[in-house]
Amino acid sequence: MTDHRDADDPAATARILPGPSDPSDTRAALHVQEEAVRIASELIAIDTSNYGDGSGPGERKAAEYVAALLDEVGVETELVEAAPGRSSLVARLAGRDPGRPGLLWHGHLDVVPARREDWQVDPFAGEIRDGYLWGRGAVDMKGADAMMLALIRSWAQAGHQPPRDVVVAFLADEESGSVHGSHWIVDHRPDLVEGCSEAISEVGGFSVTVPGRTGAPERLYLVETAEKGIAWLRLVAEGRAGHGSMVHEDNAVTRLAEAVTRVGTHRWPVRLTPTVRRLLDELAEVTGVPYDPADPIASLDALGGIARMLGAVVRNTANPTRLTAGYKTNVIPQQATAEIDARFLPGYEHELYDTIDSLIGPGVRRETIISDVALETEFSGPLIEAMITSLQDEDSGAHVVPYTMSGGTDNKAFSTLGIIGYGFTPLLLPPGLDFAALFHGVDERVPVEALHFGVRVLDRFLDSC
């Protein structure tokens, strides 16, 4: 990996946060890690629930909170709104080498809703309990936003510059298709991210503990280099309205139910993309257990709870999620609708749509609610090398591997500007933690020490990339 630092520039070689084995680990360095936890708690306490229908509180209050934190240390920001209250915030940190392409570092401020009665704690209190920070957004992704903010503030206070320009963006609406967030910026304010060639964001760099060849535990760190495409679909069936007591063969509800059943029970074929093959090869190398290409999901069981997420990246998926029809029990409606959350692998978009069209049959039409691209990039190059080195500097036993994310991120929108995106929000997680279940789940929480670890790794990474 090329070292872009200037050895004659003291500011260029200064470390903001020494590693855990460094005897110069000071209270100031610990303060940055603790500040990340404090900021995360305060961000969680700002309800930015995204209901997907425009009825939520929006992101403006959170964006103004972020702006105040950055203004306090002299970092200029720009707040933009796609609609009233749907706010994103962007800042550009000047690098030591302005001739290099910039790095986009982005996170989203919105969260999915949460009901207090379902949780052990108030989901919007940001409570610390048993070594964990609890609350909606602790994992997805206000904890990551807080790591960004704590580091940016520490750099600004120390007068430290990254090797190249870093554009930081705190975005709206990621949890509902990014229409009012990253896609709006791409369509209306691409100048805010001009000059950036690569991006890092959520859901990558976290650890998964697996049994090694000798039976001793080994830690894999999964970096997201690919993600499935999104196809949120609406199926519409038309029929003849009538009285519910009569014989009625032209029934929209029946026609729709049959179509939904065919889609929801379809067994999609296994497709191993390059990223998935690389992950399976790396997993086999670490564990000593080869995988069966005809049944790769069995090999993924070694990854514990995260296997549920990765089990969806060996095939396309289409899950019915909503049904709507009628207004009274004894009235046969003339229309019935269903919504489908479909996701396609890189290179298999046409297979998804063609298959669904063949499954729904006549008398049912398909409409698109939201669609977005699938992404895949190589697990190589200077940025990947910097990720590997920064993780191994903090955890000498780290095995860093690529993976495909079953969901999606704002990297999709920025890819249309030619920006290559990765998921890299490092977290060292306890072996028994079911990390996948925490995304959008009840009792979402993140270990405090995992946030500390992430701040240290990101500091090393951003000072070397």
CATH hierarchy code of domain 231-372 = 3.30.70.360
Residue 330 pLDDT > 80, yes or no? Answer: yes
Average pLDDT, integer, range 19-47:
78
The CA-based dihedral angle spanning residues 161, 167, 170, 171, taken in that order and rounded to the nearest 10 degrees = -170
Cα angle at 73 between 71 and 79, to 5 degrees? 25
Residue 40: closest CA among 146, 133, 122, 149 = 146
| Three-state secondary structure of 240-266 | CCEECCCCCCCCHHHHHHHHHHHHHHC
d(CA 234, CA 188): 28
Residues 6+ apart with CB under 8 A from 319: 264, 340, 341, 342
List, for residues 229-277, the tens digit of each pLDDT value: 999 999 999 999 888 888 788 899 999 999 999 999 999 999 999 999 9
Average pLDDT over all residues of the chain: 91
d(CA 241, CA 243): 7
List, for residues 5-22, the tens digit of each pLDDT value: 333 333 333 344 544 444
Domain spanning 10-210+375-462, CATH class = alpha beta
Q: For residue 9, what pLDDT is reported?
A: 39
Q: For residue 16, what pLDDT is reported?
A: 47
Q: For residue 28, what pLDDT is reported?
A: 52
List, for residues 196-212, the tens digit of each pLDDT value: 999 999 999 999 999 89
The pTM score is 0.89
Q: What is the DSSP string of 123-134?
A: TTS--EETTEEE
Residue 440: closest CA among 341, 355, 344, 363 = 341
Q: Which two tokens stand for residue 9?
A: 């520039």
Counting every residue written for the chain, the total comes to 465
Domain boundaries, the chain: 10-210+375-462, 231-372
Q: Does 231-372 match 10-210+375-462 at the fold level?
A: no
Q: How far is CA 134 from the centre of its chain?
A: 18
% of the chain residues with pLDDT over 90:
80
Average pLDDT, integer, range 117-146:
97
Residue 405 pLDDT > 80, yes or no? Answer: yes
Q: For residue 10, what pLDDT is reported?
A: 33
Residue 185 pLDDT > 50, yes or no? Answer: yes
> What are residue 224's phi and psi, to 5 degrees?
-80, 115
Q: For residue 243, what pLDDT is reported?
A: 83
